[in-house]
Amino acid sequence: MAACFYAYSFLDDFVLLYPVYALLFADHGLSLWQVSSLFVIWSLTSLLLEVPAGAWADAFSRRLLLCAGPLLSGVGFTLWILAPSYWAFAAGFVLWGAKGAFASGALEALLYEESARAGAAERYARTLGRGRAAGTMGVMASMAAAAPVFAVGGYAAVGAASVASCLLGAAVATRFPEHRAAEGAEAAVRDGGAGSGAPGDSPGAVDSPGPAGSGPDAEPDPDPGSGSGSGSDDPDLGWVGTLRAGLAELRADPSVRGALLLVPAVVAVWGSLDEYTPYLVREAGVADPAVPLYLLLVWAGAAAGGLLAGRVEERGRAAHTPAGVLAALLAGSAVALAAGGLAGTAMGIALVGVAFGGFQVATVLAEARLQERITGPARATLTSLAGVGTDLGTIAVYGAYGLIGSAAGLGHGVAFAVCALPYLVVAPVLLLRGRRRSGA
- Kindly report which listed range (109-113, 120-124, 157-161, 208-212) carries the lowest average pLDDT score: 208-212
Cα 415 to Cα 298, 369, 400, 421, distances in angstroms: 17, 30, 9, 10
pLDDT tens-digit readout, 25-36: 989 988 878 887
> Which of 147-156, 210-219, 303-312 shows the lowest mean pLDDT across its residues?
210-219
Is residue 227 over pLDDT 60?
Answer: no
pLDDT at 68 over 70: yes
Report pLDDT for 180: 64
pLDDT at position 323: 82
pLDDT-derived band at 242 (thresholds 50, 70, 90) equals confident
Average pLDDT over the chain, rounded to whole?
A: 82
Residue 336 has pLDDT above 90, yes or no: yes
Range from 85-89, 94-98, 348-352, 392-396 carrying the lowest mean pLDDT:
392-396
Per-residue pLDDT at 197: 36
pLDDT over threshold 80, residue 351: yes
CB distance 305 to 427 below 8 Å:
no
Residue predicted with more confidence, 438 or 210: 438
Tens-digit pLDDT profile for residues 180-205: 644 443 333 344 433 333 333 333 33
pLDDT of residue 165 exceeding 70: yes
Distant-in-sequence, close-in-space partners of 244: CB < 8 Å, separation ≥ 6:
237
Q: Which of 360, 386, 353, 113 is nearest to 228 (CA)?
A: 113
> Which of 27-31, 146-150, 284-288, 306-310 is least confident?
284-288
pLDDT for residue 331 is more than 60 = yes
Q: Which of 48, 62, 49, 92 is nearest to 74 (CA)?
A: 92
State pTM to two decimals.
0.76
The Cα angle at residue 167 between residues 109 and 160, in degrees rounded to 5: 135
CA distance 305 to 366: 14
- Of the listed ranges 8-17, 78-87, 192-201, the least confidently predicted one is 192-201
Amino acid letter for position 272: S
Angle, CA 199 vertex, CA 193 and CA 202 arms, to 5°: 65
Q: What percent of the chain has pLDDT over 70?
A: 84
Residue 332 identity (one-letter amino acid):
G
pLDDT at 438: 59
Query: How confident is the model over 401-430, as pLDDT tens digits?
Result: 888 877 667 888 999 999 999 999 999 988
pLDDT, tens digit, for every residue of 297-317?
Answer: 888 899 999 999 988 888 877
Kindly list the distances between the CA atom of residue 253 and the CA atoms of 65, 247, 248, 259, 320, in Å, as whole numbers in the listed order: 28, 10, 9, 10, 22
Half-sphere exposure of 225 (CA within 13 A, CB side): 16
- Which pLDDT score is estimated for 408? 61
Cα end-to-end distance, the chain, whole Å: 39
Contacts of 284 (CB under 8 A, 6+ apart): 294, 344, 345, 346, 348, 349
| Crossing angle for the helix pair 346-373 and 254-273, to the nearest 10 degrees | 160
pLDDT reading at 218 higher than 50: no
In this predicted structure, the answer to whether residue 162 has a pLDDT above a threshold of 90 is: yes
Per-residue pLDDT at 8: 95
By the 10 Å C-beta count (0-12 exposed, 13-18 middle, 19+ buried), 192 is classed as: exposed
**Averaged pLDDT, 116-122:** 84
